[in-house]
Amino acid sequence: MAGVLPRQSASRLSASGLSGVGLRTRAERDILAVMTELLYQRDAYLRKFEATVVDRCEGGVVLDRTAFYPGGGGQQPDRGTLYLGDQSRSVTGFRWENDALVHLVDGEPPPVGTIIRGEIDWEFRYRMMRTHTALHLLCGVIWREYGAQVTGGQMYPDRARMDFSLDQFGPERVRRIEARVNEEIAAGRPVRVKFLPREEAFQVPDLIRTRVNLLPPTITMVRIVEIEGVDLQADGGTHVANTREVGGVRIVKTENKGKVNKRLEIVLVDSPVVAT
């Protein structure tokens, strides 16, 4: 989890003349890294936000706060726009450079100290949120029913896939999994986010559902996503607040990826029920 510094601290750092992400000392990079408040980690429904440019480099800027999800864990990065006065810059991607999150933009990056308004592509983001929660439900059901760990996964705008350490996926088993997932969606289970110190988080049984622990040792606070009664995982992505918002899922493809590695591909179906 990225820490948060007061916005006035960001202004003082900008005024000190620290520009050019690749040119600062490690200590300065560490200060900058904790300055980018990752708003999406606590509020996935935030579509617009205001931020200050605290650094710039070729093709992009670093902000003191952002609602843009930069991608990772199988979830695709957000799309959207940065507005500065009567001008705008499309966000074309993200990259981590010397521990700083760079928002890549088309056109000339705005100068340090510029106040910008960011707006994410909500249609795309919300579909990613629904899809991500659907995959956690799939993971939770398969863990509960078969005790199988996740070996891989990826989300796309129109579908998603997840691999499991299972020996077989017969038609009857696939139908059972799909039915159980849709039952959990219809149950309207709350989806909650919380943060735990690393040592405390790793006391939670079965918190890591992947065959390999993907959490870097540098992470001291672990973000936990819980689907009440179904799934509890360390996770950095965005999710809906209630499983009803997923709508429904259909398993459209199964694939044998090895002796004990099976892939399921899903699509979302039905219109989502938006939580009120």
Q: Which of 218, 229, 220 is nearest to 200 (CA)?
A: 220
Residue 274: predicted pLDDT = 55
More confidently predicted of 63 and 220? 63
Least confident of 136-145, 201-210, 242-251: 201-210
Give residue-wise pLDDT tens across range 185-230: 999 999 999 999 988 888 887 776 554 455 677 778 889 999 999 9
Q: Is the pTM of this model over 0.75?
A: yes
| 24 pLDDT higher than 50 | no
Least confident of 24-38, 68-82, 257-271: 24-38
Using alpha carbons only, how large is the chain's radius of gyration in Å? Answer: 20
Residue 176: predicted pLDDT = 96
Gap between the Cα atoms of 2 and 10, Å rounded = 15
Gap between the Cα atoms of 30 and 11, Å rounded = 16
How does the average pLDDT of the chain come out, rounded?
85
Q: How much of the chain exceeds pLDDT 70, in percent?
A: 81
Least confident of 41-50, 195-204, 211-220, 245-254: 211-220
Residue 16: predicted pLDDT = 31
| Domains observed in the chain | 7-120 (2.40.30.130), 125-268 (3.30.980.10)
User: What's the rounded mean pLDDT across residues 15-36?
Assistant: 45
Counting Cα atoms < 13 Å in the Cβ hemisphere of 134 gives 34
Q: Return the C-alpha torsion angle 241, 242, 244, 249, nearest 10.
A: 70
Residue 221: predicted pLDDT = 87
User: What's the rounded mean pLDDT across residues 162-179?
Assistant: 92
User: What's the rounded mean pLDDT across residues 46-51?
Assistant: 98
Residue 208: predicted pLDDT = 63
Residue 35: predicted pLDDT = 66
The DSSP bridge pattern shows strands 249-256 and 262-268 to be antiparallel
User: What's the rounded mean pLDDT across residues 92-105?
Assistant: 89
Residue 198 — φ and ψ, nearest 5°?
-55, -50
Residue 199: predicted pLDDT = 86
Where would I find the H helices in 161-240?
171-186, 198-201
